[in-house]
Amino acid sequence: MKMVWICLKQDDMGGVCPRSSRRHPLRRKNCALILCGILAVIGIMQLIDDDGEDWQHAEPLGSAESEARRLLKLLSTYQLQCNSTFQLGNHSAWPLCTEYSTGIDLETQHSHRHRLMYTVGWEGDFSMERTLAGNFSFQAVVVSSRPVIDLMGIPNITVINTVLVPNDYADFSRNSYGQQTLNALWAERGVSGAEVLRLAQADGRDTLRELLHFLVNDGLLAAVNHLQIQVTIDKLDEDYLYSWYRTMQAVFHTAGYRIYHTTSNDPLCSQVTMMQSCIYYVSLLRHPGPNVLCMHPPAGFGDAATEERRLVSVMTNIQDSCTSIVVEAAQEEGQILSYKPSSGTQWHICRARSSSPFTLPCTILRFRLSADLSLSEELAGQGCKVYTLLAHRVSKYSDTVTSFKLRPAQPALARNNTPLSWEEIIGWLAGLRDISVVEIDAPGVEWDILTHLLDTASLHHVNQLILVGSIPDHIGRRHPTSLRRKYSELQRLRTHGFHLVYSENGPDSQSYTLTYQSSIH
């Protein structure tokens, strides 16, 4: 959405600031400037409301208490589930994710990743450095302005005494007078990346946040797998908290890290709101890729109403047009076609040809709870192979699919007359190529089906996706976590190359029919 800035002329301010011989002209001018500022703030708020993903324009909340509440929600909400962690000592606040293919590789001595750990700042707990260096052949480097006597002389551990400062280009003395940037230090030592980078402490109240800010901007974190950040809140200052919120959003959206663990120095710090003298130990992992579900940060305070507004926004904001995606489209091709048979479900898809909505030969998959023979027959009449996968769940109160019945039955599958497991269905899908349309119209389990298809990269050969997605869950609730997961899944569709080209609200206003077109198929 474009924002229009409106400033009224002095002559137009009569109703707001009436003329008076007793008023100085500067007062009328100041009043006009104030009104202009108010309108600008309203415009920014409207921009944020229309585009919840535009985190760079997240506005200050006006009070330290509100900023603390929003930042705490961001820091304490996990974005990635790590099922296997390595805890280094009973008192360590820094667990390491060791899950296969995403976490740290502690077993393989010749890993393709950098077996290097960097710690910035002095901290009393160096058990991670000792363990990785002593037991797993890591090179551990501690950069601190204070001497670290306990680590002197330990094999595979190097202590560098220097003041590490942010790579602020406005600071011409950043690499002189006993101080340097991490950029210069890594260039001097020939470091191209690290498995673990821990930002534990820095000199100055806001130096660590500024250091992290410039590491994100410079792209220095691109070759770092594990990132650990110590967020120190020693004072409930509005600007300080807001700066941390924006920086942590940049760590997610720009640098591509996901929070998998957070703890604090005091249990009370992780409850309703922040307190002074709170330290948060945040462990993050680089995004493992689009085949792994990673939750997006909470919207605002993470309440249900805000999460739902963001979800509806991504469901209704058309991301692209058929014409711009279907490159080879003729004049009447590449346009939205409302395809409705004599009875049954109506589809809205991108036209492939002037005479037919599909490019032949075509294959169509329909994930449903019940058969829709009318539409399937007419699709087959268009020359398409139509497969219906009838989802089965344990009970009507479950939102998880356990098996499918495939219609028509396929001779390639040994169990044609009995329900097929997810593994069998995914294996069968792997043998299909050039799928024209995948329809997911299974109220209550549609999001579970979408998750499985994304996790297994089964939509890679799909041209168009039709999703009937409900806002409430399978029993009618609007839980913030459920809404945030649905939003995250729709955003994950974009990473798989799908763009929203059509959206229609359902008759009950509780669901949306969404048509996605692949830009890479």
Nearest to 129 by CA among 114, 115, 143, 119: 119
pLDDT single digits (tens) 43-59 = 434 333 434 455 566 78
Residue 391 is part of which domain span?
310-518
pLDDT of 107 over the 70 cut: yes
Over the Cα atoms of the chain, what is R_g?
28
As a whole number of angstroms, the distance between CA 408 and CA 387 comes to: 6
**Is 62 contained in some domain?**
no
Give the DSSP letter of residue 253: H
Mean pLDDT is highest, among 19-33, 205-219, 436-450, for 436-450
pLDDT of 64 over the 80 cut: yes
Is 440 within 8 Å of 365 (Cβ atoms)?
no
Residues 6+ apart with CB under 8 A from 63: 238
- The β-bridge relationship of strands 278-286 and 224-233 is antiparallel
The stretch 336-358 carries a mean pLDDT of 64
> Bigger pLDDT: 235 or 72?
72
- 270 and 327 in a single domain? The answer is no
- 92 and 187 in a single domain? The answer is yes
As a whole number of angstroms, the distance between CA 366 and CA 300 comes to: 36
- 249 and 348 in a single domain? The answer is no
Q: What is the DSSP string of 463-515?
A: EEEEEEEESS-TTS---HHHHHHHHHHHHHHHHTTEEEEEEEE-TTSSEEEEE
- 380 and 470 in a single domain? The answer is yes
Buried b (16+ CB within 10 A) or exposed e, 73-100: bbbbbebbebeebbebeeebbbbbbbbe
> How many domains does the structure of the chain reveal?
3
In this predicted structure, what is the pLDDT of residue 361? 80
Is 501 within 8 Å of 318 (Cβ atoms)?
yes
**Is 57 contained in some domain?**
no
In this predicted structure, what is the pLDDT of residue 138? 92
The stretch 217-224 carries a mean pLDDT of 93
As a whole number of angstroms, the distance between CA 517 and CA 499 comes to: 5
In this predicted structure, what is the pLDDT of residue 365? 94
| pLDDT bracket for residue 377 (50, 70, 90) | confident
**Is 304 contained in some domain?**
no
The stretch 298-323 carries a mean pLDDT of 90
Question: How many angstroms from the chain centroid is the CA of residue 223?
Answer: 19
- 78 and 43 in a single domain? The answer is no
Nearest to 392 by CA among 358, 420, 351, 433: 420
- 340 and 453 in a single domain? The answer is yes
Is 206 within 8 Å of 240 (Cβ atoms)?
yes
Is 399 within 8 Å of 444 (Cβ atoms)?
yes
pLDDT of 520 over the 50 cut: yes
In this predicted structure, what is the pLDDT of residue 43? 40
Going across the sheet that includes 362-368, the strands are 401-407, 384-393, 362-368, 435-441, 462-470, 511-518, 498-505
**Is 95 contained in some domain?**
yes
Residue 90 to residues 87, 93, 125, 127, 381, Cα–Cα distance (Å): 8, 9, 11, 10, 67
- 195 and 222 in a single domain? The answer is yes
- 190 and 323 in a single domain? The answer is no
**Is 64 contained in some domain?**
no
Residues 6+ apart with CB under 8 A from 115: 136, 137, 138, 139, 195
**Is 60 contained in some domain?**
no
Q: In this predicted structure, which of 317-326, 403-412, 442-451 has the lowest mean pLDDT?
A: 317-326
The stretch 218-236 carries a mean pLDDT of 91
- 32 and 73 in a single domain? The answer is no
pLDDT of 246 over the 90 cut: yes
CATH code of the domain containing 125: 3.40.50
In this predicted structure, what is the pLDDT of residue 171? 80
> Bigger pLDDT: 520 or 148?
148
Indicate the residue type of 458: S
In this predicted structure, what is the pLDDT of residue 344? 56
As a whole number of angstroms, the distance between CA 347 and CA 515 comes to: 9
pLDDT of 172 over the 90 cut: no
pTM recorded for the entire structure: 0.82
- 92 and 220 in a single domain? The answer is yes
> Bigger pLDDT: 1 or 74?
74
Is 104 within 8 Å of 94 (Cβ atoms)?
no
In this predicted structure, what is the pLDDT of residue 146? 82
In this predicted structure, what is the pLDDT of residue 412? 67
pLDDT of 406 over the 80 cut: yes
In this predicted structure, what is the pLDDT of residue 468? 94
Mean pLDDT is highest, among 40-44, 97-101, 249-253, 331-335, for 249-253
| pLDDT bracket for residue 126 (50, 70, 90) | confident
As a whole number of angstroms, the distance between CA 459 and CA 450 comes to: 9
Residue 256's φ and ψ, nearest 5 degrees, are 80, 35
Q: In this predicted structure, which of 43-57, 70-84, 115-129, 230-244 has the lowest mean pLDDT?
A: 43-57
**Is 436 contained in some domain?**
yes
- 351 and 323 in a single domain? The answer is yes
**Is 99 contained in some domain?**
yes
pLDDT of 307 over the 90 cut: yes
Is 518 within 8 Å of 464 (Cβ atoms)?
yes
Residues 6+ apart with CB under 8 A from 263: 93, 270, 280, 281
User: Tokens 């500067």 belong to which residue?
Assistant: 26
Is 196 within 8 Å of 118 (Cβ atoms)?
yes
Residues 6+ apart with CB under 8 A from 99: 82, 83, 84
In this predicted structure, what is the pLDDT of residue 493? 94
- 175 and 264 in a single domain? The answer is yes
Is 285 within 8 Å of 102 (Cβ atoms)?
yes
In this predicted structure, what is the pLDDT of residue 25? 45
Mean pLDDT is highest, among 23-32, 440-449, 502-511, for 440-449
pLDDT of 109 over the 60 cut: no
| pLDDT bracket for residue 343 (50, 70, 90) | low
In this predicted structure, what is the pLDDT of residue 73? 93
Mean residue pLDDT across the chain: 80
Q: Copy the structure tokens of residue 256.
A: 């591509």
The stretch 166-191 carries a mean pLDDT of 87
